[in-house]
């Protein structure tokens, strides 16, 4: 994780994002970002006690995906973007499997019809702004499974970032 963060942290911004999926790595091609209700509740309980942490209310999100194009509808607000994955690494940190992704986001792709997408999912998201360093996205799917990702959209000093990510990983 250290090398990946060191390589990309200086170039991170709203259009070049590092995402850390937290879950279980089955193989190089398969990563499962799935957690229990109790794990997510434990994270929320710990984070509500921290200073400089803002937790949003759950938002219903409908996502349409076609290849690398994403069309999200958040409470009647549309967000459309495409992305290119530059690098992906599976690693293990503090007994937790992580999938680190560095991607370039294009916020002005050609708008497509929502009838041309091959995956449509509905989910509920809670966005946690952690000390203004990164966002933690907790996702609840209709089948009562949960996902957790960390999204880094601005440069931060590497050691501070790794220290805070390690704290989050210890909650699992």
With a pLDDT cut of 70, the percent of the chain lying above it is 96
Q: What is the DSSP letter of 11?
A: G
Domain of 121: which CATH number? 3.20.100.10
**pLDDT attached to residue 27:** 85
Q: What is the mean pLDDT of the chain?
A: 90
Q: Which domain holds residue 86?
A: 2-170
* pLDDT per residue as tens digits for the range 1-56: 999 999 999 999 989 999 999 999 998 888 999 999 999 999 999 999 999 999 99
Q: pTM for the full model?
A: 0.89
Alpha-carbon distance values, 167 to 90, 91, 119, 121 (Å): 19, 16, 34, 30
d(CA 105, CA 12): 11
- Count of domains observed in the chain: 1
**pLDDT attached to residue 114:** 55
With a pLDDT cut of 90, the percent of the chain lying above it is 67
């Amino acid at each position: 994780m250290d090398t990946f963060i060191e390589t990309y942290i200086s170039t991170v911004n709203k259009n070049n994002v590092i995402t850390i999926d937290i879950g279980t790595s089955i193989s190089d091609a398969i990563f499962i970002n799935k957690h229990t209700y109790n794990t997510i509740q434990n994270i929320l309980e710990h984070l509500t006690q921290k200073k400089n942490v803002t937790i949003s209310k759950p938002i219903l999100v409908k996502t349409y995906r076609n290849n690398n194009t994403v069309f999200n509808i958040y409470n009647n607000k549309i967000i459309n973007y495409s992305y290119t994955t530059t690098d992906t690494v599976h690693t293990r940190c503090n007994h937790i499997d992580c999938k680190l992704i560095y991607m370039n986001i294009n916020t002005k792709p050609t708008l497509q019809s929502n009838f041309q997408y091959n995956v449509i999912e509905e989910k509920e998201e809670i966005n946690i702004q952690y000390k203004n360093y990164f966002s933690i996205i907790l996702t609840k799917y209709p089948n009562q499974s949960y996902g957790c990702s960390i999204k880094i959209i601005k440069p931060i000093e590497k050691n501070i970032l790794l220290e805070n990510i390690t704290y989050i990983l210890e909650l699992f």
